[in-house]
Structure 1
């Protein structure tokens, strides 16, 4: 059990079994499987943290911070901030609704923006590379995306308003995973649960739906 009054927003499970989660205390908490808090990251720096990704090879914690309009990188050992990553690589060009972060197999950073409705790619030094997926309502584009994951083939899956879509690592549209009658309305959570067969779970309103793709 977590401490009373702590509300979990997004979380990331590490290979060690520890879980990092963003919460209403405006920081990242890391707890072990017994529910004991191991450390806090970003206190006094983070304003409204959402998505988290922990690169356990480089010991870097990436946090999508809606309140800071950017992605913040922290050292997982010292909990000290390393750098901020800004939209299009410019401090003056803000991300809007930066909601989720993840890494490709090459260690490049994918940043999902809910309000701007786009997926951006940055290199492993935090330099802007390009916009992979643009805003739009047709297939191959996203509107108010909430989740992004990368599978073992480096394909990208994005949950957005009313649909789940599969893209290549270059952002090329492959297919829509769900069907309109599946009723994907508020896909806030997204997780790959199997590679053989390819299977993904998405939270939708008060349910969890599982799709083969």
Structure 2
């Protein structure tokens, strides 16, 4: 992704922002929608098509680079699509459906539903209020299982089988203990970055780094002075040096971290 994508919920649009914070383009899909366009997450394919999770219309909208709608899919299956990623191994589209507590898998080219991963629960492979998904180059799925206080990892090379969890504890005070994971980003090699609610009553949020292979906690990236308030989007730039961009929804701004 050459430019971070900003999810504009209350403006009902997607903005493409360059590394200097300048708006490059706006994608708005109001025409023909049953409800207001509410983009929750965006994935960009190799052919530069935008796959947008539209929460209020319960579907995935695919647009070209100019924002023209190509097709929509998922309306029959999805209730609350909040996270989306394209698997580099099989090119399938993985959509996190928060209210259904599962992940729907679609064919990228025609939107055909392939399978469902997970169901409500707290066991291995079960989900409770999942929010986002990230997929590494080996096809491993990292799912922010918010209600279960953990990141769950599935392997698409093993038929999307559950393999391990990261950070499950339910106590957000200690190092590496996840309380309510919100958003995910995968860095180089084995780095996994997670935005987490440390203290919901005090609106205290944080940005954590884990080893994605072992689940080992590495360090906290931000500090209390950063005052993250509902971080809702997280992505890496392709520029050098590579930086991590966090969309601070509560402060209506982006925060950039040199990793």
TM-aligned CA deviation for residue 38 of structure 1? 1.1
TM-aligned CA deviation for residue 132 of structure 1? 1.7
* Pairing partner for 2:253 from 196, 207, 212: 207
TM-aligned CA deviation for residue 27 of structure 1? 0.6
| Unaligned ranges ≥5, structure 2 | 1-26, 31-35, 198-204
> CA contact under 8 A between 2:122 and 2:128: conserved in structure 1?
no
* Pairing partner for 1:127 from 161, 180, 184: 161
Distance 2:166 2:123 in 1: 20
Distance 2:220 2:124 in 1: 35
Q: What is the RMSD of the two structures over their aligned residues, measured on CA atoms?
A: 2.2
Distance 2:88 2:165 in 1: 26
TM-aligned CA deviation for residue 193 of structure 1? 1.5
Name segments (4+ residues, structure 1) moved above 3 Å: 87-94
Indicate the residue corresponding to 2:38 in structure 1: 7
Where 1:77 maps in the other structure, the secondary structure is: coil
Distance 2:65 2:28 in 1: 11
User: Is 108-117 or 87-96 further displaced after alignment?
Assistant: 87-96
| Unaligned ranges ≥5, structure 1 | none
Indicate the residue corresponding to 1:158 in structure 2: 194
Distance 2:108 2:59 in 1: 13
Change over 3 Å in CA distance of 1:120–1:44 after alignment to 2: same
TM-aligned CA deviation for residue 54 of structure 1? 1.1
Indicate the residue corresponding to 1:27 in structure 2: 59
The superposition leaves residues 129-179 of structure 1 with CA deviations (integer Å, 9 ceiling, x where unpaired) of: 111221321221222221111112121000112110111122101111001
How many residues are paired up?
A: 213
Instruction: With the length of structure 1 as denominator, give the TM-score of the two structures.
Output: 0.92
Change over 3 Å in CA distance of 1:56–1:123 after alignment to 2: closer
TM-aligned CA deviation for residue 191 of structure 1? 0.7
Instruction: With the length of structure 2 as denominator, give the TM-score of the two structures.
Output: 0.76
Change over 3 Å in CA distance of 1:88–1:108 after alignment to 2: farther
> CA contact under 8 A between 1:194 and 1:200: conserved in structure 2?
no
The superposition leaves residues 49-86 of structure 1 with CA deviations (integer Å, 9 ceiling, x where unpaired) of: 01000125422000000121111111112311111111
